[in-house]
Amino acid sequence: MAIVYDTYQRDEAERLLPLLKVGDPRRVVAMHESQAITAAQFIAHMERVAAHLPEGPAAVNLCEDRYAFLVAFCAIALRGQANLLPPSRAPQAVEEVMAAHPGCHAVGDRIFHPAPQRYHVLPPLPVDEVVPDDLAWPSIPVLQTVAVGYTSGSTGTPRSNVKSWRSLHASTSGNLHMLHQVVGERFSVVATVPPQHIYGVEMSILLPLLGDVQVHSGRPFFPADIAAALDEMPVPRVLVTTPVHLRALVASGVTLPPLAAMLSATAPMPPELAAQAEQRFHAPLLEVFGSTETCAFASRRATVDSRWSLYHGAHLHPQPDGTQIEAPQLDAPIVLADIVTLHDEGRSFELCGRHADLLEIAGKRASLGDLTRRLLNIPGVEDGVVFQLDDADAIGVRRIAAFAVAPALDEQSIVDALRALIDPVFLPRPLRLVESLPRNETGKLPRAALLDLLRT
């Protein structure tokens, strides 16, 4: 049996999977500088960049333009290297990731000051280049490590997670199947999230690589820019965004071109915001559930059902300290800190909170997520968060603190409003008004940034 298993492992390691869905070389992969980029042009760009890359085990992909990131992502993989995806592009975060991967280099699409060590700017990617259609479709080993993603640090120190090409193929299959049920086989994507985040990789890099999908190369931020980017893309259109970005989009009053769907992740979607977005933009709002460790493995439409539907092949096993997940993209089961209740013979689940977010004070229970939701529902509160401090009071209970962005309110009026919504033992002390929260590029709140803000 050992010989058979070893032979299987060797055969699996030698098996190849395409870097790009094999098919029509004239299929549009991306819209870059208002020009449609075909599969043939993309492969030419990828091979040109791969030829310019230095030797090394890995490369930090710092490209800001989404198409440049896509080209660099595949060129790095084609050279047998791994894409390093730091939790942010801040110099310190990049330095820490590079220090953890000796011999690596960094690539980007523009000049940085100061630049990381061994930093290289991509060669030009001409959009009007004519290339032949009789091209060789590139492939790489199925077990090759193509990416190392890092958690955001919202619950502590960022942690690395290795992704093989087999794993990303499997997770993308689940995402494509979910979207095909709603928008059809072919669609276009505009994303407000950075491509370095695993959610951005899944929904704006892997989808155009492995499906009949084309992506806008920009990362529009302001509502008018999002509308303009969507207007450049063919129907049906999918907007990939986050609850924070969507809240600003709804509040702006902007009119968007017709959407087939909106897609959200990185934070819980308040049901009230989901309903407002669907009414405002006349499209279903879909959420995906996952993590840097697992990639997406479930989805839901919050305005229709609070339960999450598992992707095909995904199974959950509740445990006292979290939930074990099995999924096609995982080599082995992983335990997440989320507490769930299973339904429909295990095919769907309700999220009860994260183990670290659950609070018990004086025999009473609550969750940080629910407390934050109640804070955000107070009229006049534009943004906010409730979080737990590291230090404890005299009887050993870790204190609760909160930040609120509410220009027209004072701290006492917010506390009084919360007093009518929650048990007094869970009132945050302190609650501080701030001009803005230290959100990262995906709208998450790194715990270290919250504690620094409280100290200052």
Among residues of the chain, what percentage have pLDDT more than 90? Answer: 65
Mean pLDDT of the 160-171 span: 96
**Which tens digit of pLDDT belongs to each residue from 213-240?**
999 999 999 999 999 999 999 999 999 9
Q: Are strands 383-392 and 398-405 parallel, antiparallel or unpaired?
A: antiparallel
Return the sign of the alpha-carbon dihedral for residues 121, 84, 337, 361: negative
Query: What pLDDT band is residue 5 in, cutting at 50, 70 and 90?
Result: very low
Note the pLDDT of residue 429: 87
Q: Are strands 145-150 and 82-85 parallel, antiparallel or unpaired?
A: parallel
d(CA 414, CA 417): 5
Note the pLDDT of residue 400: 87
Across the beta sheet with 334-336, the strand order is 315-319, 322-326, 334-336
For residues 444 and 266, is the Cβ–Cβ distance under 8 A? yes
Note the pLDDT of residue 394: 42
Query: What pLDDT band is residue 355 in, cutting at 50, 70 and 90?
Result: low
List the beta bridge partners of residue 317.
324
Query: What pLDDT band is residue 137 in, cutting at 50, 70 and 90?
Result: very high
**Is 346 a residue whose pLDDT tops 70?**
yes
Return the sign of the alpha-carbon dihedral for residues 69, 73, 76, 82: positive
d(CA 36, CA 27): 9
List the beta bridge partners of residue 236.
none
Query: Coil, strand or helix: which one is 444?
Result: coil
Which DSSP helix (H) or strand (E) runs through 48?
helix 39-52
For residues 384 and 376, is the Cβ–Cβ distance under 8 A? yes
Note the pLDDT of residue 449: 87
Compute CA distances 442 → 9, 151, 200, 240, 385, whole Å.
38, 12, 9, 11, 15
DSSP 57-120: SEEEE---SHHHHHHHHHHHHHTT-EEEE-S--SHHHHHHHHHTSTT-EEEESS--SSPPTTEE
Query: Coil, strand or helix: which one is 213?
Result: strand
Q: Using CA atoms in the order 226, 227, 231, 233, what is the torsion angle rounded to 10 degrees?
A: 30
Rama region for 34: left / alpha / beta (φ>0; ψ in -120 to 50; rest): left
Note the pLDDT of residue 397: 61
**Is 12 a residue whose pLDDT tops 90?**
no
Mean pLDDT of the 134-148 span: 93
Query: What pLDDT band is residue 359 in, cutting at 50, 70 and 90?
Result: confident
CATH numbers and ranges of domains, the chain: 14-306 (3.40.50.12780), 362-455 (3.30.300.30)
Query: Coil, strand or helix: which one is 250?
Result: helix
Note the pLDDT of residue 100: 93
Q: Tell me the pLDDT of the chain averaged across its residues.
A: 90
Mean pLDDT of the 307-316 span: 96
Mean pLDDT of the 114-133 span: 87
Q: Name the range with the highest mean pLDDT among 24-38, 85-99, 347-361.
A: 24-38
pTM higher than 0.75: yes
Return the structure tokens found at 131.
């290339």
**Is 8 a residue whose pLDDT tops 60?**
no
**Which tens digit of pLDDT belongs to each residue from 396-442?**
467 889 999 999 999 999 999 998 888 888 888 889 999 999 888 77
**Which tens digit of pLDDT belongs to each residue from 372-407?**
888 988 999 999 999 888 765 544 467 889 999 999
Return the sign of the alpha-carbon dihedral for residues 318, 322, 327, 330: negative
Return the structure tokens found at 5.
């298993």
Note the pLDDT of residue 158: 75
Compute CA distances 133 → 41, 42, 272, 309, 427, whole Å.
9, 11, 49, 41, 65
Residue 438 CB burial class (10 angstroms; 0-12, 13-18, ≥19)? middle
Note the pLDDT of residue 391: 67
**Which tens digit of pLDDT belongs to each residue from 72-103?**
999 999 999 999 999 888 888 899 999 999 99
Return the structure tokens found at 186.
């072919």
For residues 211 and 313, is the Cβ–Cβ distance under 8 A? no
Provide the strand spans (E) within 283-347.
285-289, 298-300, 308-310, 315-319, 322-326, 334-336, 338-343
